[in-house]
């Protein structure tokens, strides 16, 4: 049986169009550049701040338990898509090169106003 068709072969019709609040927003990619942020209005009227680009990260050293704000030098690899590392796009799980060494991004930069990372030994 084909997708979107009844058992008799007839097509299902859309009941209505999507409302504005149901529509998808444009995907945000956080690049490795000078820091830029954007404020968005959410459904309840709240304000959400998101990153558009960043060049620093809050890196946690698990041995000492202290975190430090350091510059990001390069994106080494991204587990989801190897092409994102070539374009220096920052996503959750990406391995970045910092002043302290290699670190793994632990948050979702496209939905938060900063980058959190943990040192990788």
pLDDT truncated to tens, each residue of the chain (121 aa)? 678 889 898 998 888 998 988 888 888 899 999 999 999 988 899 999 999 999 999 999 999 999 999 999 999 999 989 899 999 999 999 999 999 999 999 999 999 999 999 999 7
pLDDT of residue 1: 61
Domains of the chain: 24-119 (3.10.290.70)
What does 24-47 look like in DSSP terms, one character per residue? PPPPP-EEESS-EEEEEE-TTS-E
């Amino acid at each position: 049986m084909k997708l979107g068709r009844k058992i008799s072969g007839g097509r299902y019709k859309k009941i209505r169009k999507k409302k504005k609040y149901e529509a998808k927003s444009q995907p945000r990619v956080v690049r490795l550049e000078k820091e830029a942020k954007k404020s968005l209005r959410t459904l309840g009227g709240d304000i959400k701040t998101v990153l558009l680009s960043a060049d620093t990260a809050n890196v946690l050293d698990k041995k000492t338990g202290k975190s430090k704000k350091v510059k990001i030098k390069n994106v080494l690899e991204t587990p989801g898509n190897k092409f994102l590392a070539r374009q220096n796009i920052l996503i959750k799980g990406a391995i970045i090169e910092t002043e302290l060494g290699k670190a793994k991004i632990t948050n979702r930069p496209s939905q938060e106003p900063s980058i959190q990372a943990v040192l990788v030994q």
